[in-house]
Amino acid sequence: MLRSVYTALLYVFAPIAWAATALKGLRDPAYRERLPERLGYTQIFAPAGASRPIWLHAVSVGEVQAAAPLIRALLKQHLRHSLLVTTATPTGAQRVQALFGDSVRHAYLPYDLPGAVHRFLDRVRPLLAVVMEREIWPNLFGECERRRIPIVLASARISERSARRHQKFAALFREALSGNVTVAAQTALDAERYRSIGAQRVLVTGNVKFDIEVPQAAREAGATLRATQLANRPVWVAGSTHDGEEQQLLAAHRSVLAQRPDALLVLVPRHPNRFDAVRAWLRAEQVEFAARSRNEAVTPAMSVLLVDTLGELMTFYAAADIAFVGGSLIATVGGHNLLEPAVLERPILVGPHNFNAPDIAALLLERGAARQVDSAAALASAILELYASPAARAEMGAKASAIVAENRGALSRVLQLIEPLLQAPSANT
């Protein structure tokens, strides 16, 4: 009964979501591409008799980045199966293309409408579904169960707030998480929360984000940047930033410049559809800056480098002295990936809002690998203090790298969980 009500509401709101996506396409053409896929009309087919693909869903950029080690392992270990990666956003699609090129296929996940779900599964015929972190779609999961397609929620996490919200509709989520779904939870607390909303098969495997890999090309490009354009300048990177946060970052940088006039802020906005707006804002603020997309040289007169390109954040973390991870000064965003600068041994500064990965943030803060700042003034003070002490920077970076090394292993545990599902008799029907 509850699922019928849920589906009826989806039929009401799906046209609104479709129209909103089309309107976004007026500003960002990527949103207009492959709109029929939102209704299940994917152009990817697995004909009867052909090898069925492994399907992995990662909603957007952060989840794609987190899934990268798992995708690489699946490509290496299961060569006879193709790999389909779905996302919900164009930026996620662009990240898939940047990381994996033609080695995987990409489609957009359809709306959770029965017809869209049927069309998608009829065409793709997946052998197994791996869903990253926290996506639960009752109609999609229910149809996968009917077709005996096993689902693994990999590196699964759920906040206390979300768990309470899901408990209000316990029957709906109990049905979605029963039968064919295995929850591979990040922590024991996540596991308990999933059980509280009806999950039956729950294991604690850890967070695959700790199995992060740094492409050698990113390390080398960072070293080259450091030796050329950024030579002899104190450099801090503000990665994955948002509107409302960048204003605070620029205020902090101006305070830093008052004492270190040669300091350089490398500003990396989170969303490509904001690049034009950020460029215009910097001009309005009368900031001397170089735009990475235009290959503009970073002259001594420039105090900001705007990275208005995709896929280069790791390179600039590798080139920097200090990393600030964005989304954490905004209460509604909840922070982004702290492990990217950590694996590169960079001292990390972060705002107070990190509910997207609270366990990682708490671990880094408790161990002294990261410092929390809650204002532009506090950020500027921390940057100046770290600039003045190379030893403190090195110590924080070493602690961050050690934490990553200590917590690796979730990838192998998830792969061990997936392997028997690929060999199950029902997987070959």
Q: What residues act catalytically?
A: 63
Query: Which residues, 6 or more positions from 246, have their beta carbon under 8 angstroms from its beta carbon?
Result: 238, 267, 269, 278, 281
Beta-sheet strands, E only, within 310-364: 322-325, 348-350
Helices 61-77 and 90-100: angle between axes, nearest 10 degrees: 40
- DSSP result, 356-376: TSHHHHHHHHHTTSEEE--SH
- DSSP result, 130-153: EEETT---HHHHHHHHHTT--EEE
323, β-bridge pairs = 237, 348
Sheet of 105-108, strands arranged across: 105-108, 83-87, 54-57, 128-132, 151-156, 181-185, 201-204
At residue 381's C-alpha, the angle toward residues 377 and 384, to 5°, is: 140
Look-up of token digits 């489609």: 107
Contact status, residue 351 vs residue 332, Cβ threshold 8 Å: no
